[in-house]
């Protein structure tokens, strides 16, 4: 029996001792963890909203570490396998089948999930880039064992290298819109502009008012 499609958040627990070092300073480790947790909250919410509208799409958390209250109850939980991001993505698709895997730091990408599902349903892959040259999500319509082979992850050319790899494998690829990713402190503002009324916006305003107000 064919597995239903999935939208999977690949994530790790937003703990203060594992906060993004690029946000510290000007933020403290605890404040950075709050920002990361808010971004993850909005990402999960965006996935949940789309999955709730489609009986054939399941929400999954592909995690590194222990699943706690930070993972919404309606999510299937699977654990990452592999030493690097490329290997973990490849193993994720091997375990879960066709679907979309997204990062935890691009909550404004939610408006583009439907387009990724549309691509999958006609047999196309899809990829959405970020403004720093990486990618916020990748959708594979079928097994592609070589899709992540020798891709330089977490660099300014990762997105283009991944797209080129899919095309070398003669995959039909839909390129989705580009969004901002939460990497540096300066990334917070444009994401909040894209997500007015979000949890990230609320947490950011609260933190910044206390710190600089």
- Tens of pLDDT, residue by residue over 53-86, are 999 999 999 999 889 999 999 999 999 999 999 9
**Is 126 a residue whose pLDDT tops 90?**
yes
Phi/psi for 78 (5° steps) reads -125, 155
Tell me the C-alpha distance between 26 and 186, whole Å.
10
Residues 99, 7 contacting (CB under 8 angstroms): yes
Q: Are strands 135-140 and 99-102 parallel, antiparallel or unpaired?
A: antiparallel
Residues 108, 194 contacting (CB under 8 angstroms): yes
What is the residue-averaged pLDDT of the chain? 93
Give the CATH superfamily of 5-212. Spore Coat Polysaccharide Biosynthesis Protein SpsA; Chain A (3.90.550.10)
What contacts 39, CB < 8 A, 6 or more positions away? 104, 105, 107, 182, 191, 200
Q: What is the pTM of this model?
A: 0.95
Distances (CA, A) of 43 to 38, 68, 106, 178, 180: 9, 16, 7, 16, 13
Torsion angle in degrees (nearest 10) through CA of 67, 69, 73, 77: -10
């Amino acid at each position: 029996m064919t597995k239903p499609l999935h939208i999977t958040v690949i994530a790790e627990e937003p703990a203060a001792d594992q906060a993004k070092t690029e946000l510290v300073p000007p933020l403290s480790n605890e404040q950075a963890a709050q920002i990361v947790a808010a971004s993850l909250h909005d990402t999960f919410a965006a996935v949940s909203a789309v999955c709730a509208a489609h009986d054939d799409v399941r929400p999954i958390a592909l995690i590194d570490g222990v699943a706690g209250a930070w993972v919404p109850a309606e999510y299937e939980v699977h654990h990452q396998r592999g030493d690097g991001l490329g290997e973990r993505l490849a193993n994720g698709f091997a375990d879960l089948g066709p679907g979309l895997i997204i990062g935890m730091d691009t909550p404004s990408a939610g408006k583009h999930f439907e387009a990724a599902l549309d691509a999958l349903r006609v047999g196309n892959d899809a990829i959405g880039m970020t403004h720093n040259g990486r990618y916020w999500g990748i959708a594979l319509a079928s097994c592609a064992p070589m899709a992540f082979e020798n891709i330089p992850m977490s660099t300014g050319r990762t997105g283009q290298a991944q797209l080129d790899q899919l095309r070398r494998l003669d995959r039909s690829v839909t390129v989705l819109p580009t969004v901002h990713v939460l990497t540096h402190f300066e990334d917070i503002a444009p994401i909040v502009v894209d997500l007015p009324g979000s949890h990230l916006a609320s947490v950011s305003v609260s933190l910044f008012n206390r710190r600089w107000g």
